[in-house]
């Protein structure tokens, strides 16, 4: 995988056994597919239970890459200005990085309430979820756990609104 690209391949068997169908495909996201100041982030977060919180805490979070000029002055992620255009989330299946958990990670977009059933994405332990987005602000993406602490990883491309 090139540094400016994400590649995700999926293979699935769906429908009941007597009409089972295999579907699959590959998504390739190039860094600047949507937006012009896009940069990568990685965030390891931990929920504190069923109370909604920001999926990514942008305090002191910096972008991992600085474009083709490889500027070594890191840009800080700004929750109210930076738009997520590609998002990958993994539920680690642990409470602290090592203790196993059976909790699901709930993710809400557009500042949705993750305690409600409608509009909440459910990511079970060790599952990965991804999406190409039109530009959702970091401040509008929140998460919670179905029960107790839960560690998760976020890999995202965001359009740096501050430049």
Q: What is the CATH number of the domain that holds 153?
A: 2.60.120.770
Domain membership of residue 10 (yes or no) is no
**What tokens does 92 get?**
């680690």
**What tokens does 7 get?**
């590649």
In this predicted model, what pLDDT tens digit does every residue of 68-104 receive, in sequence order? 444 555 567 776 777 888 999 999 999 998 999 999 9
Residue 162 confidence class, pLDDT cut points 50, 70, 90:
low
Task: Give the model's pLDDT for residue 103.
Answer: 93
Taking residues 118-137, what's their average pLDDT? 89
Taking residues 107-115, what's their average pLDDT? 74
CA distance 6 to 29: 5
Half-sphere exposure of 65 (CA within 13 A, CB side): 18
Q: Nearest Cα to 109, choosing from 83, 71, 136, 132?
A: 136
Q: Looking at the 3D structure of the chain, how many domains does it have?
A: 1
The predicted model scores a pTM of 0.84
Q: Which domain holds residue 107?
A: 34-159
């Amino acid at each position: 995988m090139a540094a400016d690209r994400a590649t995700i391949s999926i293979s699935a068997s769906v429908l009941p056994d007597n009409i089972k169908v295999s579907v699959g495909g590959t998504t390739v996201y190039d860094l600047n597919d949507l937006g012009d100041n896009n940069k990568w982030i990685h965030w390891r977060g931990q929920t504190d239970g069923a109370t909604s919180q920001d999926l990514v805490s942008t305090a002191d979070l910096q972008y991992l890459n600085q474009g083709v000029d490889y500027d070594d002055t890191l840009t800080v992620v700004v929750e109210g200005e930076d738009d997520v255009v590609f998002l990958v989330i993994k539920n680690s299946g642990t409470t602290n990085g090592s203790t196993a958990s059976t909790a699901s990670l709930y993710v809400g977009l557009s500042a949705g309430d993750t305690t409600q059933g409608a509009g909440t994405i459910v990511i079970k332990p060790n599952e990965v979820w991804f999406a190409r987005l039109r530009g959702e602000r970091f401040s509008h993406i929140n998460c919670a756990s179905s029960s107790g602490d839960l560690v998760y990883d976020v890999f995202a491309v965001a359009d740096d609104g501050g430049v």
